[in-house]
Amino acid sequence: MSRITLSRFLIEQQRKAGTLPPELRLLIETVGRACKAISYSVNKGALAGILGEAGTGNIQGEAQKKLDVIANDFLLDANEWGGSLAAMASEEMELPYHIPGEYPKGEYLLMFDPLDGSSNIDVNISVGTIFSILRCPEGIDHPTQEAFLQPGTKQVAAGYTVYGPQTMLVLTFGSGVHGFTLDREHGSFVLTHSDMQVPESTQEFAINMSNMRHWEAPVKRYVDEMLAGKTGPLGKDYNMRWVASMVAEVHRIITRGGIFMYPKDARDPDKAGKLRIMYEGNPMAFIIEQAGGAATNGYQRILEIQPQGLHERIAVFLGSKEEVERITRYHQEQ
């Protein structure tokens, strides 16, 4: 039986279901090519002299790694000329990136976190790329940031690429979640994981325990109950994981279950959380929900939140439905 590449998969979906427009198919393929280029750079590491700090900062006030800048440029360069996009937005840039005038414009908006977990680059731990695709509102020829401020339910596709022992692209366009592994010899993403599903219950959680003293009461209660194990109110032992890369955490959860938590905390009470709703919260929530899991900010479904800014932050609780519903209930009861 012949292997199904990403291109073949998308073309067959376009033909069979008729729910994948040709322009969207081409856009997803282009994003995939950019992720392959990023993967090769990540894989070379010190051999290509691309580790370490870039000496610049991004709009988030974070020091950029060299690969942050390289990955951002790969995605911009790959997608600006194809004719599918009206504009792009990146976690690394303050304002939207407009398609140069010499290129045709399309009907979609692309948002991305070019290299999630980049603090792991220099120590050779998994990092990733996250992307989200929206339709540009009708009648807008020169999209400003307001055009991007759509709730996550409006996404037409989302995905991530994890650069680990294998490079994998995990994708949804609203009809389930499918995983593709990069075959480096042939240069193609190949379908290896069809209809990925998050187990409803779990005995594994991911959170940065060093911030425990800053958490709100519902989060402290929930983690204390998990740490109590079989003798506690939840009646089972839990294991904790923390990679400090959202892509790696979500990929583990979508593969074997679990809950990922990045709550707001008392260090900066004016911020609703740490992660960005447009580049991390919405695309990952879309993927997790399509895989049978759940994603909330502790109070409501992430995908239903109306964003107020291009770099707005949010608390995130996502993964196995049973656990996400429990921590959300604890927030609502306080």
Contact 24, 159 (CB under 8 A): no
Binding site for Mg(2+): which residues? 91, 113, 115-116, 280
* Binding site feature residues for substrate: 116-119, 208, 274
**Is the Cα dihedral 297, 301, 302, 304 positive or negative?**
negative
| Contacts of 165 by beta carbon, 8 Å cutoff, 6+ apart | none
- The residues pairing with 319 across neighbouring beta strands, listed in sequence order, are 259, 294
Contacts of 151 (CB under 8 A, 6+ apart): 282, 303, 304, 305, 306, 307
**Left, alpha or beta for 204 (phi > 0: left; psi -120 to 50: alpha)?**
beta
Two tokens, residue 127: 């990092």
Which parts are annotated binding residues?
A: 91, 113, 115-119, 208, 274, 280
Q: Find all residues with CB under 8 Å of 198, minimum gap 6, and list them.
A: 253, 254, 257, 288, 291, 292, 293, 319, 320, 321
Distance CA 209, CA 324 (A): 18
Q: Are 286 and 316 in contact (CB under 8 A)?
A: no
CA dihedral of 208, 270, 131, 78, whole degrees rounded to 10: -120
CB 110 within 8 A of CB 85: yes
Spatial distance between the Cα atoms of 237 and 227, rounded to a whole number of angstroms:
7
Longest dimension (CA), the chain: 66
